[in-house]
Amino acid sequence: MSKRIGADTIELTSRPRIAAWSASAGQKEREGPLGDTIDYVLEDDLLGQKTWELAEAAMLRDTAFRCLDKTALKTRDVDILLGGDLINQIMAVNLCARELMIPLLGLYGACSTMCEALAVGGMLADGGAARRVLCAVSSHFSTAERQYRTPLEQGGQRPASAQWTVTGAGATLLCGSDYTPEGVIPAASLTHATIGRVIDYGVKDMANMGAVMAPAAADTLARHLSDTGRSADYYDEIITGDLGKVGRGLMLALLDEKGVKVDAARVWDCGERIFSPEQDAHSGGSGCGCSAVVLNGYILDRFARGELNRVALMATGALLNATSVLQGETIPGVAHLVVIEKEDAR
Amino acid sequence: MNGWKTSRQRDIEQRYLAMVERFTPNHAMAMNITRAFLWGGAICVLGEAVSELGKAYLGLETADASAFTAIVMVFLGAFLTGLGQYDKIGKHAGAGSIVPITGFANSIVSAAMEFRREGLVLGVGARMFIIAGPVLVYGIGSSVVVGLIAWVVGLFR
């Protein structure tokens, strides 16, 4: 049963298993440093659909199916679907869920949604409310650009702090401790979740999301470590979602100010890793798909191969919308943290 | 929502925003200005050439040559946008390709293309001027104001 420890952390005592995972992404992501870890690469980022929005929904649906296909499970064997994306009213998840027919809880945490889904899913599986939970999130460059920025063909320059929305989707199947499908070896377990507080340090610049999210990331990590009584060294790696180069530097500086000791060499960012500097992504990748693709490929593959024992994954989100920015509002940030551990790393 | 910030929060913000400035890489301003100058200049030279050609070969008067140039340049901007090339120029040229009339065409055509899937009326029709609209509103608006001033001044001459 889930147990609250410290102020804001939840211990998942039965350690829900990560039984299957899958990620899809576009060509640009395929050409990045982690390209080989992506399960399925889209040949065409429109996926033969009429609109970018339908393309994103189809990518998410296919990713969910591919994840289930790795087990013998069917959609009816999954009790709850937890999903989110960046389109208004989480359009991609809603359209995809009408085909999956798994009871849906739609989530919105901007780019932090992968960890939000894992945290909620972990609690549902741990508490017995669901035997199996599918966490699936997506983002698409072309839907995000029109949602937040300018038309695709409009010619302008991006500032150096800007980030590039990842076209990608990730799905993770969480199973309660007695419900791992037969013959499936889980990669790892979820052991803790620390839910993020919304932090706003007054940044208004939409082209500097790393700066928006860094205070939330520093806050969540500091609270997690104090709640669990662990030092940062407990983790092989502390991985953030999409702070980018600018945001990672800021988070480390803020942690230093708080007096939290962190070995910078063990802290890395999915957004910074997913594209190489030559790929013109500036500060790095972003979007729900960013942490989702890296988790459901590179990170969980390494758990499955026994290369990792304990990881703190912290997806970060900038909670803006087109209206709030036009109205001159500062942008709040959030970061949710989940702890992933190897089965026998106890 | 007003006044949710305590004075402590405001202090934190101030210190943090200074920190953000330190961590955020500078725009390569000198480089960007040079590129904008060269690209913008090149587009204007092209426009000038079109105008001179119009005068030399089509026998256009100066005023007609200006209209002719505008038509040709808008077409070029729109055409390159349709081919998916104008945004690539824009990445290098910055303001150099936004400010000339070709950039105006780009802003309208790119929006029209983007919203085509929302239909011809509520998509293309309603959203086409999403970027160019403000330019038109304040461009035409300020020309009316200037016209009024010129009229009033003319009364006293």
**ipTM computed for the complex:** 0.89
| Gap between the Cα atoms of B21 and A111, Å rounded | 23
Cβ contact, residue pair B12, A150, below 8 Å: no
Judged against a pLDDT cut of 90, whether residue A22 lies above it is answered with: yes
Judged against a pLDDT cut of 60, whether residue A345 lies above it is answered with: no
Question: From the DSSP assignment, how many helices (H) and strands (E) are in chain B?
Answer: 8, 0
Judged against a pLDDT cut of 80, whether residue A72 lies above it is answered with: yes
pTM for the full predicted model: 0.94
Q: Which CATH class is domain A190-341?
A: alpha beta
Q: What's the mean pLDDT in A113-131?
A: 97
Contact map slice: A 35-74 vs B, CB within 8 A: 50-52
Domain with CATH 3.40.47.40 in chain A: 2-175, 190-341
Cβ contact, residue pair B20, A50, below 8 Å: no
Residue B22 domain-assigned (yes or no):
yes
Q: What is the extent of the structural domain holding B40?
A: 7-114
Mean pLDDT for chain B?
94
Q: What's the mean pLDDT in A65-88?
A: 96
Residue B49 domain-assigned (yes or no):
yes
**How many beta-carbon contacts under 8 Å exist across A and B?**
90
Q: Per-residue pLDDT tens for B58-108?
A: 999 999 999 999 999 999 999 999 999 999 999 999 999 999 999 999 999
User: Which of A154, A257, A269, A272 to mutate against chain B (most B CBs within 10 Å)?
Assistant: A154
Judged against a pLDDT cut of 80, whether residue B27 lies above it is answered with: no
Total count of domains within chain B = 1
State which residue of chain A sits closest to B131, comparing Cα positions.
Answer: A150
Judged against a pLDDT cut of 70, whether residue A68 lies above it is answered with: yes
- Chain A contact present for B7, CB below 8 A: no
CB-CB neighbors (< 8 A) of A146 in chain B: 114
CA distances from A202 to A186, A249, A333, B5, B113 (A): 42, 18, 10, 10, 35
- Chain A contact present for B119, CB below 8 A: no
Contact map slice: A 150-169 vs B, CB within 8 A: 150-161
pLDDT given at position A344: 67
Judged against a pLDDT cut of 90, whether residue A270 lies above it is answered with: yes
The token duo for A160 is: 């150096």
Q: Which secondary-structure segment (H or E) carries B48?
A: helix B29-58
Contact map slice: B 26-45 vs A, CB within 8 A: 26-28, 32
Cβ contact, residue pair A150, B131, below 8 Å: yes
Mean pLDDT for chain A?
95
Residue A1 CB partners (closer than 8 Å, separation 6+): A13, A14, A126, A127, A128
User: Which of B9, B15, B20 to mutate against chain A (most A CBs within 10 Å)?
Assistant: B20
Judged against a pLDDT cut of 80, whether residue A346 lies above it is answered with: no
Q: What's the mean pLDDT in A138-159?
A: 89
What residue type is assigned to position A325 of the chain?
V
Cβ contact, residue pair B106, A159, below 8 Å: no
Q: How many residues does chain B have?
A: 157
Judged against a pLDDT cut of 70, whether residue B110 lies above it is answered with: yes
A141 beta partners: none
Q: Dihedrals φ, ψ of A333, to 5°?
A: -125, 160
State which residue of chain B sits closest to A244, comparing Cα positions.
Answer: B24
CB-CB neighbors (< 8 A) of A253 in chain B: 19, 23
Q: Per-residue pLDDT tens for A193-246?
A: 999 999 999 999 999 999 999 999 999 999 999 999 999 999 999 999 999 999
- Residue B76 burial (CB count, 10 A): 18
- Chain A contact present for B90, CB below 8 A: yes
| Gap between the Cα atoms of A21 and A134, Å rounded | 9
State which residue of chain B sits closest to A157, comparing Cα positions.
Answer: B91
pLDDT given at position A1: 81
Contact map slice: A 186-245 vs B, CB within 8 A: 201-203, 208, 211, 215
Percent of chain A past pLDDT 70, that is, above it, reads 99
CA–CA min distance B24, chain A (Å): 6
pLDDT tier at A125 (50, 70, 90 boundaries)?
very high
Q: Which CATH class is domain A2-175?
A: alpha beta
- Chain B contact present for A88, CB below 8 A: no
CB half-sphere exposure, B78, CA atoms < 13 A = 12
Cβ contact, residue pair A50, B117, below 8 Å: yes
CA–CA min distance A159, chain B (Å): 7
Residue B82 domain-assigned (yes or no):
yes
Residue B143 domain-assigned (yes or no):
no
